[in-house]
Amino acid sequence: MHLSESSYIGQIVKLHGYKGGVSLYMDVSNPKSYTHLKSVFLEIDGILTPFFISDFKLKNKGFVALHFEGVDSEESAKKLIKKKAYIPSESLQVVDETRFLGHVLIGYKVFDEVKGDIGVLVEVLEQKGNPLYVIDKEGVEILLPVYEELLTSVDDEKKQIVVKAPEGLIDLYLE
């Protein structure tokens, strides 16, 4: 699977136990929506590598205790710490569709319905419960909250999006 066909869902942050378990921080809106996962792809040396899940236990605050098939020692699990986890984009749950869209739109010019050209989408900050679009306007960073009503139109051919930013928000950055 290629990175362009996948969606980021979190990162392995630490060991869980001493028999090869790891703790995955799921950077998604609703981790419970992903309890059905049979595998994830971890980015190792720039390559998405499949890992099959043998045990999935939802913890609190977005953490999941995982055991992968073939990873049965503390030593082998340590190699997975700080690895980013992905799933095929078609497996992304509907609750995260707006966040997924943001990654697809990186590099698009952003226009606000009122303010016009406000820059280029350069990043999506995946903060649990408060993801943000990062827009660069000639060196000025503009942060917009990610929510469904924000995007009013997307033109893939022109690589442009139109947003309806909350009233006064753009002015905070550009004045």
Domain with CATH 2.40.30.60 in the chain: 3-92
Q: For tokens 């392995």, name the residue.
A: 12
Q: What is the pLDDT of residues 39-64, one digit of tens each?
A: 999 999 989 999 999 999 998 888 99
Domain with CATH 2.30.30.240 in the chain: 100-174
Q: H-helix or E-strand containing 159?
A: none
Cα–Cα dist 124/107, whole Å: 11
Which class is domain 100-174? mainly beta
**CATH number, domain 3-92:** 2.40.30.60
- Whether the predicted model's global pTM rises above the 0.75 cut: no
Q: What is the pLDDT of residues 127-141, one digit of tens each?
A: 666 778 889 999 999
